[in-house]
Structure 1
Amino acid sequence: MLVQHSYPISERNIAAIETDNRQTASCSVIFLHGWLDNAASFQSVLHVITSQLPSHIHLCAIDLPGHGLSGHKSADNFYAFHDYIDDIHQFLVTLPTKKKILVGHSLGGLIASCYSAAFPEYVDGLFLIESLGPLSEPAANSVQRLRDGVNSRSRIRRKSRRKGYDDYAAALQVRAAHSALPEALIEPIVARGIELRDGQWLWRADPKLSAQSLYRMSDAHAEAVLAAIQSPFFVVLGDQGYPSLKSYSRALRPEQVEIEHVQGGHHCHLEHPERVGQLILQFIKKIDEAPCS
């Protein structure tokens, strides 16, 4: 059975959809969603997995800070990528389970890969969907990135309150078009990510999430992160997903990571939850059955 829960971290709460066995389970599987999505991104996959899951496995899909039902950061605090790693660390150390598996889609996968590299003692398995290590770019771009990032923050500060939608259906239609997905598939994310306020439907997500990054790793930094991952490492890529991930994956050695291609685009876990859910379930069982290090 899936329940709603909230975990306190520094100055805010992390909202979650989870199985109700976190106090008795021996292994937790933590799901991290993509940018401007939320925990409901994994709703259909969770239903596939829970129907075949051993009772000692705890599943927990969280809303990253600023997303879904989780708290927003303070008005003067933007969402720097590296701060998510600290947020996840605060959350993970509260879980009593002996084993922990991270499942990340897109941004969630970037966070999970960096966290796994920095804190291998807290990660027993890493499963990524349409994601593969941190984003990187040539070092020569760093000065322009700083300028563009600060300017994007200035634009967000100048913006007035965002215009809402007169009805829920209009908001759903816009999000479905933006994600290039049928409304039925994206609707759980929309339902968790929107609220009715003063007669208007408004997105819950913090507007500051749209600010550009002030910093991105160099290629050498990203390669060092991937090389530092010690746990078993599995990647699912959609055959219509981001082309850059396919080219990036070819540079990895087979002993570093196992890669599976499935039908679908960047949200292939929404398009084919049965297939992706079965792959996650197989990975969970593999980690669960392995002896503790």
Structure 2
Amino acid sequence: MNPLVEEIRINLGHIELAAHLFGPEDGQPVIAVHGWLDNANSFARLAPALPGLRIVALDLAGHGHSDHRPAGVGYHLADYVQDVLLVAGQLGWQRFSLLGHSLGAIISVLLAGALPERVERLALIDGLLPLTDEAGQAPERLGEALLARLALGDKRKPVYSDPERAIQARMSGRLPVSREAAQLLAQRGLMAVPGGYTWRSDSRLTLPTAVRFTPEQALAFARRIRCPSLLVLAEDGLLSAHRALLEDLPIGIHSLPGGHHLHLDDVTGTHAVADCFNRLFSIS
């Protein structure tokens, strides 16, 4: 194992999460939260480039080496937020910072808005607010989600004959990544099964969301943030078209070249993101 990282498990009572631990014991406490269908290796390059921080990079429930949620239980944003808060409690951290990418950034914003007194700093990578619906769309949204859950039992995850095929699939997925990034995610995300390899992630993670916030509700969380905050915006990422909306929020924005996984795709992107966040974490 890389001497810069320690593998740990955190028992939350209702579920056990796996995580990578970086940095000195007396470093600033930080919980790092990865994106949808990723895992703790999302921060394998970035965390070592953030000196002075005690970073716990989680595998979220249903991802990587963490437990899946029990049968009949879904993957809801509020439950992810609760898990992160419980992790802080297990670590004895009353105040802590959050480092989030994509879905992890959304979870971080929700927690920082709900309990602003608990969050010291907020470091976000190409993610901010959850997907939203207007109020009148709620019945149709729930109906689609219910039918998708009923149909899930007939679906099977793809099995790849060798890891390379899985890596190629990850490179060309809905959110494409570089080969280096795909290899890192596959190291932690693949498992052997009869016939080859498949991803460890819970199939339920691909189900549509049953209930979404309205735009006004989602914005209310971001507007309630009180800590020093910085959003690194990927120029070829998911949020670049919405910069005007983002500039009305109490969050600093810094644009960098690269795609949605710019912190993981290559060393240049990692160092650029690290430079931004090292400045954020140096604020007294």
- Please, what TM-score do these two structures have when normalized by structure 2? 0.92
The aligned counterpart of 2:253 is 259
Unmatched segments (≥5 aa) in structure 2:
none
Residues 246-283 of structure 1 show CA distances to partners (whole Å, capped at 9, x for unaligned) of 34442345671110000111111123111011212221
Tell me whether 1:16 sits opposite 2:19 in the alignment.
Answer: yes
State whether residues 28 and 59 of structure 1, in contact with CA within 8 Å, keep that contact through their aligned partners in structure 2.
yes
State whether residues 23 and 48 of structure 2, in contact with CA within 8 Å, keep that contact through their aligned partners in structure 1.
no
State whether residues 81 and 213 of structure 1, in contact with CA within 8 Å, keep that contact through their aligned partners in structure 2.
no
State whether residues 193 and 205 of structure 1, in contact with CA within 8 Å, keep that contact through their aligned partners in structure 2.
yes
152 and 99 in structure 1: CA distance in 2 versus 1, 3 angstrom threshold: same
1:115 to 111, 127, 142: 111
CA distance in 2, matches of 1:115, 1:138: 22
Deviation at 1:113, TM superposition (A): 0.2
The aligned counterpart of 2:167 is 172
CA distance in 1, matches of 2:243, 2:125: 13
2:274 to 269, 273, 277: 277
Deviation at 1:216, TM superposition (A): 0.7
Deviation at 1:48, TM superposition (A): 2.1
- Tell me the amino acid that sits aligned with residue 112 of structure 2: S
CA distance in 1, matches of 2:227, 2:245: 19
Tell me whether 1:3 sits opposite 2:3 in the alignment.
Answer: no
20 and 109 in structure 1: CA distance in 2 versus 1, 3 angstrom threshold: closer
What SS does the aligned partner of 1:76 have? Answer: coil
Matches within 5 A, 1:1-293: 1-19=4-22, 21=24, 24-25=25-26, 27-49=28-50, 53-54=51-52, 57-97=53-93, 99-159=95-155, 161-178=156-173, 179-242=175-238, 245-253=239-247, 256-271=250-265, 272-286=269-283, 290=284
Residues 80-139 of structure 1 show CA distances to partners (whole Å, capped at 9, x for unaligned) of 222111111111112234641101111001100001111112211111111123322222
State whether residues 113 and 134 of structure 1, in contact with CA within 8 Å, keep that contact through their aligned partners in structure 2.
no
What SS does the aligned partner of 2:130 have? Answer: coil
Between 77-86 and 211-220, report the one with greater CA deviation: 77-86
Between 259-268 and 246-255, report the one with greater CA deviation: 246-255
Deviation at 1:182, TM superposition (A): 2.6
State whether residues 26 and 97 of structure 1, in contact with CA within 8 Å, keep that contact through their aligned partners in structure 2.
no
Deviation at 1:229, TM superposition (A): 1.1
Deviation at 1:20, TM superposition (A): 6.0
Deviation at 1:164, TM superposition (A): 1.1
CA distance in 1, matches of 2:243, 2:88: 28
State whether residues 223 and 249 of structure 2, in contact with CA within 8 Å, keep that contact through their aligned partners in structure 1.
no
State whether residues 234 and 240 of structure 2, in contact with CA within 8 Å, keep that contact through their aligned partners in structure 1.
no
Deviation at 1:176, TM superposition (A): 1.0
- Please, what TM-score do these two structures have when normalized by structure 1? 0.89
- Tell me the amino acid that sits aligned with residue 43 of structure 1: A
255 and 181 in structure 1: CA distance in 2 versus 1, 3 angstrom threshold: closer
What SS does the aligned partner of 1:131 have? Answer: coil
Deviation at 1:185, TM superposition (A): 2.3
Unmatched segments (≥5 aa) in structure 1:
none
CA distance in 1, matches of 2:253, 2:282: 17
CA distance in 2, matches of 1:59, 1:280: 13
Identity %: 29
CA distance in 2, matches of 1:252, 1:11: 36
What SS does the aligned partner of 1:196 have? Answer: strand
CA distance in 1, matches of 2:215, 2:221: 10
- Tell me the amino acid that sits aligned with residue 17 of structure 1: H
What SS does the aligned partner of 1:250 have? Answer: helix
